[in-house]
Structures are given as structure tokens and as C-alpha cells.
Amino acid sequence: MLTTLRRIIQDVSAAPTFREALELLVHDVRESLGTEVCSVYLRNIDTDGFLFASTEGLNTDAVGKLSLGPHEGLVTLVADRAEPINLEDATHHPRYHFIPEIGEEPFNAFLGVPVIHHRQVLGVLVVQQREQRRFDESEEAFLVTLSAQLASIVAHAEATGDIAKLIEHSALEGLRRDTMFPGVPGAPGISMGTAVVVHPAANLDAVPERTTDDVFTELSVLDRAINSVRRDIKHISEQFAQSLPAEELALFDVYLHMLDDNALAGEIRERIHGGQWAQGALRQVIRKHERSFEAMEDPYLRERSTDVRDLGLRVLAYLQDIRTKKTYFPDDTILVGDEITPSMLTNIPREKLKGIVSVRGSSNSHVAILARALDVPAVMGAVDLPILELDDVALIVDGFYGEIFTNPSPAKTDHYQHLIDEEAEFAEELEELRELPPVTMDGTRLALWVNIGLTGDISRSLDRGAEGIGLFRTEMPFMEKDRFPSEEEQRKIYRAHLEAFSPRPVTMRTLDVGGDKSLSYFPIAEDNPFLGWRGIRVTLDHPEIFMVQARAMLKANAGLDGDLRIMLPMISSLSEVEEAKALVERAYVEVIEEGLVVRQPLVGVMVEVPAAVYQARQLARMVDFLAVGSNDLTQYMLAVDRNNPRVAELYKETHPAVLNALREVAKAAHAEDTYVGICGELAGTPQGAVLLMAMGYHVLSMNAANLPKVKWIVRNIKLSDARRMLARVLRMDTAEEIEDFMMRQLVDAGLGRVVPSHHH
Ligand code: PEP
Ligand code: MG
């Protein structure tokens, strides 16, 4: 059963059009269950009826023409009940409804299964049989399993307008005007522009094992890919013919030989004959040769493993049809991709990047954080977006509500242009606050600092009036390289920040890789990366990495009056703090011994694991400051992966449990007289800033882009009012209730300009 199921899903997913996908589906199901009829009915969202979308066994002439009204017939009963209905004799059922055009009168046995996506019935899958027979339990279970897998395919078709296209005579071609694709807000703001779809670089390690029955196709695909690579290599070699010495040019010949039938290509073919698909065969062969080269004594030959890998990637790129990296970007680029990563942004000139749309990820993915820092509107987790059809299509990106509109009509465009203008006007007003301190109307002074590092944009932060760096994510200098950056390389980067901000505080976090931040040269493969080797766990296991970084930080401050603070990520037990503090101390002594004049840095820990919340007092006693990383704290408290769009709706920083934890941490810090800050994204939101200020957080550290708005709020509210709001909020039961309440409170307090309110 499992293989049949897999085959059907594979067939359906690989079909060139949705119509053909449905045809394959009804064909395959009918065959594998040995029934006379299989049909699919799909909900027509506009009419709420069910379109007769595909059949084998009933009257195909009615396909695409006939629709069942709501509550009409057994099919809609399946939909109404949202559960399977299995009948021996359907014709005697009270909901049986005779429709002559469909031609189902001879069939008595009926099994209908709903197709449900995100709690919504999108369609019904039906099998029917002439003689009186009951479909048995295993058949029912089979259809239920199949339909659960079909659901996302159908939802996708619905979102892309493919279902509408099934309706005969509907003249809809391509993407409809003003079609809205929902995602989650990634970075606030609205923009309009042209979609540029980017694909990830080919990755051999990500190629799955897969068997094939169609050896012939796989072989011809391979041939085409290899020929293309040969052509490319010849082309490059001709380009370099004048400028490279002969022995270097010979390398290209070596490449070409490697692709010969009596070398790599032959071996790959053999494996395809053995039933492996082309990409899998390629991966196996490349891995094998890489390993044997790596094992060689001779350093020259050992290096050849890189060539084998390079060749493998080139072939894979063609197999996956990713020929060239994008190099041209229009002035109003909206970057669209299955999974946009921080490194993809580095290729695009900042002034051309107007928006970001990612099918995967959620508001707390690092690329979303980066987008906020760059002040580029972003929508994440737009799972239904048909990215393959989007290249060059006009888009509106609404980062406030997490919505994307394709092919906007003039009316839609005008509406959003108006909103863009309003935002720009407000931004200009906020400019005037730059030199003014963040003091509440009743006189409390707050510290509003910035998170930095993903962009490295120092001047922008100063422009926004930042009084310190609350979180310097040091991962970027590590990600940009193809090896660990040296002490001196790191020192220069850290120095630039300390110089720019001195004497203001600069809080540098020690390397926090693992989770969703990986280094190409230091791969970590784990089933649960967020629960794995991450942050301080990695650097304590590699003191050499930690020490180089700590020394670079300390040296960067030499001769300066900079206020360097070192912060430790992902702390889950006190012993980690002991060990890390000892390493920092050792680094300090070493630097002093080298004769440099440096100040002793403050050392603090991030509270981002629930364990740290419950040991906040002990932690506060051990260090100079606490800083809550609410992004991770939220994901760990709610057990919701911050990158997974499926559960993005459950990720709520205003969840009562999270807010309670935040308050406990603040109280623990106060009790120990320790400075406490927060540098998660919550601090940069209007509601978050108000609640955190009421809890007594001394420092709110946020993206530079959010800072002016938060400062505006701080300057227009009383701490006593914020405290009253917090007291009410702490008695509430759900995040929704809290969000609504805070929204209303801010509007009533005359602060409505900072909360988006243009929705429908
Ligand atoms: C956090 O977890 O809240 C945080 C500030 O760190 P990062 O987002 O880099 O994990
Ligand atoms: Mg974190």
C-alpha cells in the first residue's frame, strides 16, 4: 500500500498541469483499488458549490461544467461532516441526489473522503462500484491517507487559481489580477516592484535517494546535463586561453576527461541502470571519488577531490535546471524564493532591493530580522506562492499583514501607493526625534539600543539615534568567509564598531551558530538543530574558536574608551557560565600579557532557554547583566520552531506564558540589582516595548529601523499608564486577547499611528 501511495503522490506532484494531476489521480486510484469509478470534486470558493473536477468511470463530458450546490447530494454531505462516508447502497440514502449529467445511477457502493487543508474542506475524493459491496476498512484508510497528502497540492492549486482554470469557459489565463497570497509578516512596510525569483545553489548533500523505473529518461537527462557542462568548460577554457599558462589550461582537459564515459559518466550510468535516479547516482559516484582522493598522501592529488566535487555540482545544477545565478536586478526588485537566506541578499545592491518574499521561514527567521534591519518590507511563509510562475511579475508586498498581491490592478496600486506615502510622511516626522532622549511623559529614562551584525550597517544605527549596541550578532563575519576568520580579521570588524560607538556600550555576543545559522565550512547535521549543538555549546566544545574571538573583542578595544560587553548565547546551565567566564578571563590576561591596554569587559548572559528563566536569580548573581533573547525563548517555551511556517501562527511572543516568563526574569534581575535588557524582536514592536518598559527592563534593544517608532511611543506615554496596561494584560488568557487589548489601548492613547490599521 505504501509504495502505491507514494507512487500516486509522485505522479500527481510531477504532473505538468493541475488538470493532468487530477486525471492521473483518478486513474491511479481507480486502478489500485480495482473500482469502477473514481472522481474528484473541488470546492469552488466563490460559490461554495463543488465542481465536478475529474473522473474516470463517470461522464467525462460533465467535467469542469457541472457543480453541486451547497448541501446537495452525498458528496457535499462528506464535506459538511468533514469525515468519510462509506455506503453499501448510496441510492437509498436520504441525501442521495440524482444528477442525470453525471451518469452515476448504476453505481450503488459509495465511499467519499474529504480533502482537508488547515481545517478547511477543499474537496471530496469519491470511489464508486456497481454491485452492492462495502468498501472495506483498509480501502477507506488508504483513501484517507491519500487525501491527507493531496490536501496541500489542492490548497496550492486553489491559491494559484488553478482550480478556477478547471471551470470550463473560464477565460482565466495565468495569474489572476489582485490574487492575494497570505504569509506571515516578516518586516513591516509596504512596497511594490518586480519579482525576481532566486534559487538556492545546487547542493549534492541534499539530493535524496530515489529509485526510478524510467531508466531511459534518467539516462537522457544525464546526457543533456553532461553535454551542457562540457560546453561550459570548453567555453571557459577558450576565455582563458590567452591569459593562463598551458599547464593551468590543461586542468580544463582533465575536467573534460573526468566526464568521459570511461570515467565518471560511465559509473553514473551504471548506477542508473541499477535503478537509481540520475541525481542520486551522481551523488553516489561523486562522493565515492571525493573520498578516495581525500585519502591520498600526495597533496596535489588530495586537492583533486575539490575538482570532483566542483564537477559534480556543475552537473547537478543542470540536472536541477538551475543554470545561472541571477546577475541582473531591476531597480524595484522584490526578491522571491523558496527559502531566502541572508547570503542571497548579499548579491543585490541595497538600493534595488524593495521587498522580500520567502515561501519558507517565519517572522523570526534570521532573514526576516535582517530585512527589518535593512528596512525592507518582507513576507515570510507564503507557502502557496507559485514561485515558478512569478519571475518578472508585478507584486505588492504588505509586510504589515504578511500579504502578497500578484498583478495588482490600478485601483489596488493606488490604494497601496497612498499607504506608502503616509508611511514616508510619518518617517520624516520621526527623523526629528533623533537627538531627543527616550524619556516617558512622566520622566522615566529608558535605554533604546540597536541590534546589529546581520547587516553591519553602523552609520544607519547612529542615524537613528541609537545610544548603544545591545546585540552585536557576530555570526556575519563568520558566514561571509570560507573558513573561520582570523583573530586579526575579527579584531578589525569589532574595532570599527567600538570606534563608531565609543564611549557608548557595545554588547558583542559570542558566536551563535547552529540552529538555523550554519557555516558552510563547519557543517552541523542534526535532526533537531534548535535542540542541538548551538551557541555556547559549540564554542565551549571548541575553546580555540572561543578564545580567538574573545581576544579579538578585547584587542579591538585597546587604547579606546569603548564600553565593551561580552554576551553569552544559549546558556542552559550555570556551569556553562563558569566555563565561559574563565575563558574570557584567560583571554584578558593573555591580551594584557601582550602589553596591550584594555579595559575589563562586562560579561552577561542571554536568557533564551526556559531553564535560564528558572535560574535567573543565580545567573544574575554570577554576571554583570542579563539580556533576554525573546525570539528563542518564545520558540523554546511554546515548543514552536521559529522557522516553520506550519506552526507560525502558534509562535506568539505575547503568549501569556512568555510574558510571565519575561516578567519573572525582570523581577529576578531587580532582586539581584543586576542590569536587565531584552534584545528579541518583541522589544521593537509597539505593544512589546510598552509592556517591557512596564516590567522594568532597563534596555530595549531592537533593529535600527524600529527604533524611531519605539522612541516616539516612549516619549508619548506615561510609565504609570504602561504599568496599568501590563497589570491588565497579566490577567488575560490568550495572546489574541492581549494583542487586541494592546492595540485598542494604543489607539485610545493617541498612539494609533504606530500600529498598522489599513486592513480591508
Ligand atoms: C533571540 O533569540 O531573541 C536573539 C536575540 O538572538 P537570535 O535572534 O540571534 O537567535
Ligand atoms: Mg537567540
Do residues 379 and 191 make contact, with C-beta atoms less than 8 angstroms apart? no
CATH architecture for segment(s) 435-754: Alpha-Beta Barrel (3.20)
Q: What is the pLDDT of residue 324?
A: 42
pLDDT in the model for residue 575: 98
pLDDT of residue 91: 85
Which atom in ligand 1 lies closest to the alpha carbon of residue 475?
9
Considering only residues 340 and 613, tell me which one the structure prediction assigns the higher pLDDT. 613
How many Å apart are CA 343 and CA 594, to the nearest integer?
36
Give the ligand whose atoms come closest to the C-alpha of residue 454: 1
Describe the crossing of helices 299-319 and 246-258 by its angle, rounded to 10 degrees. 60
Nearest-CA residue for atom 4 of ligand 1:
629
Whether the CB-CB separation of 441 and 717 falls below 8 Å is answered with yes
Nearest CA to ligand 1 atom 3: 629
Question: For ligand 1, which residues put their CB under 6 angstroms from it?
Answer: 471, 473, 512, 608, 629-632, 679-680
Distance, in Å, from the CA atom of 125 to the CA atom of 114, rounded to the nearest integer, reads 6
Number of the ligand 1 atom closest to the C-alpha atom of 629:
3
Instruction: Report d(CA 729, CA 741) in Å as an integer.
Output: 8
Give percent above pLDDT 90 in the chain. Answer: 53
| Confidence at residue 92, expressed as pLDDT on a 0 to 100 scale | 87
Q: Kindly provide the residue ranges of all beta strands, DSSP E only, lying in 118-244, ordered along the sequence.
A: 120-129, 179-182, 184-187, 190-198
Residues 6+ positions from 391 with CB-CB distance below 8 Å:
195, 196, 197
% of the chain surpassing 70 pLDDT: 95
Active site residue 655: no
Of 301-310, 416-425, 497-506, 633-642, which range is least confident?
301-310
Is 60 exceeded by the pLDDT of residue 325? no
Which has the closest alpha carbon to 42: 181, 161, 179? 161
Give tens-digit pLDDT for 202-240. 778 777 777 888 888 889 889 888 988 888 888 777 876
Q: Name the residue among 388, 412, 410 with its Cα closest to residue 398.
A: 412
Tens of pLDDT along 348-400? 888 899 999 999 888 877 788 888 888 899 999 998 888 877 888 999 999 99
- DSSP code per residue over 539-563: HHH-HHHHHHHHHHHHHHTTTS--E
Active-site residue (options: 366, 497, 655, 698): 366
CB 127 within 8 A of CB 37: yes
Confidence band of 456 (pLDDT split at 50, 70, 90): low
Q: For the structural domain made of 204-319, what CATH number should be given?
A: 1.10.274.10
Instruction: Give the pLDDT score at 587.
Output: 97
Q: What mean pLDDT, rounded, does the chain reach?
A: 89
Does position 169 have pLDDT exceeding 60, yes or no? Answer: no
User: How many other C-beta atoms lie within 10 A of the C-beta of residue 710?
Assistant: 24
**Which atom of ligand 1 sits closest to the CA of residue 627?**
5
| Cis upstream peptide for 503 (omega within 30°) | yes
397 vs 454, which has greater pLDDT? Answer: 397
What local confidence, expressed as pLDDT, does residue 643 receive? 85
d(CA 574, ligand 2 centre) in Å: 18
- Residues 335-344: what's their mean pLDDT? 83
Q: Is 716 exposed, middle or buried (0-12, 13-18, 19+ CB in 10 A)?
A: middle
Q: How confident is the model at residue 660 (pLDDT cuts 50, 70, 90)?
A: very high
What is the C-alpha to C-alpha distance for residues 74 and 253, in angstroms, rounded to an integer?
Answer: 68
The pLDDT of 81-89, averaged and rounded, is 93
The C-alpha atoms of residue 356 and residue 359 are separated, in whole angstroms, by: 10
- What is the torsion angle, in degrees rounded to the nearest 10, for the CA atoms of residue 302, residue 307, residue 310 and residue 314? -150
Distance CA 705, CA 707 (A): 6
Ligand 2 centre distance from Cα of residue 661 (Å): 16
Measured distance CA(577)–CA(473) in Å, rounded: 19
472, 452 contact by CB (below 8 A): yes
Dist. CA 545 → ligand 1 center (Å): 20
Mutate to test the pocket of ligand 1, among 631, 633, 636, 692 (most ligand atoms within 8 A of CB): 631
Work out which ligand 1 atom sits closest to the CA atom of 515: 10
pLDDT band at 249 (very low <50, low <70, confident <90, very high): confident
Q: Of the residues 516, 632, 651, which should be mutated to test ligand 1's pocket, given the most ligand atoms within 8 Å of the CB?
A: 632
Q: Compute the distance between CA of residue 450 and CA of residue 551 in angstroms, rounded to an integer.
A: 23
At residue 172, the pLDDT reads 40
- The domains of the chain are located at 2-166, 179-200+327-428, 204-319, 435-754
**CB of 500 closer than 8 Å to CB of 474:** no
pLDDT of residue 168: 67
Rounded to an integer, the average pLDDT of 652-673 is 98
pLDDT of residue 53: 93
The label of the residue with cell 460533465 reads 62
The Cα 115–Cα 95 span in angstroms is 20
Q: How would CATH label the architecture of 179-200+327-428?
A: 3-Layer(bba) Sandwich (3.50)
DSSP class of residue 82 equals T
Nearest ligand (C-alpha, residue 633): 1
Residue that the C-alpha cell 487543508 belongs to: 117
Going by alpha carbons, the residue nearest to atom 9 of ligand 1 is 473
pLDDT in tens, 398-453: 999 899 999 999 989 999 998 899 888 888 888 888 889 999 999 999 999 999 87
Count of CB atoms within 10 A of residue 726's CB?
Answer: 19
Give the distance (Å) from ligand 1 centre to CA of residue 207: 31
Sorting pLDDT into bands at 50, 70 and 90, what band is 171? very low
Spacing, Cα 466 to ligand 1 middle (Å): 19
pLDDT surpasses 50 at 529: yes
Cell numbers 553569552 correspond to 568
User: What gap in Å lies between CA 542 and CA 131, rounded to an integer?
Assistant: 71
pTM for the structure as a whole: 0.72
By CB neighbour count within 10 A (0-12 exposed, 13-18 middle, 19+ buried), where does 643 fall?
Answer: buried
The region of weakest confidence among 4-18, 561-575, 723-737 is 4-18
Catalytic (active site) residue 760? no
For domain 2-166, the CATH superfamily is GAF domain (3.30.450.40)
Please determine, for residue 5, whether its predicted confidence score (pLDDT) is greater than 50.
Answer: yes
The residue among 120 and 725 whose pLDDT is bigger is: 725
Q: Put the strands of the sheet holding 190-198 in their side by side order.
A: 179-182, 403-406, 394-398, 190-198, 333-337, 353-358, 378-380, 184-187
Residue 320 has pLDDT above 50, yes or no: yes
Q: Look up cell 498583478; give the residue.
A: 407
Highest mean pLDDT among 58-67, 255-264, 447-456, 586-595: 586-595
Q: Give the torsion through C-alpha atoms of 424, 428, 429, 435, to 10 deg.
A: 140
The closest alpha carbon to 352, from 385, 370, 327, 323, belongs to 327
Q: Is the predicted pLDDT of residue 323 greater than 70, yes or no?
A: no
Report the C-alpha gap between 566 and 606 in whole angstroms: 10
Indicate the pLDDT class of residue 138, thresholds 50, 70 and 90: very high
Per-residue pLDDT tens over the stretch 28-68: 999 999 999 999 999 987 777 899 999 999 998 889 888 88
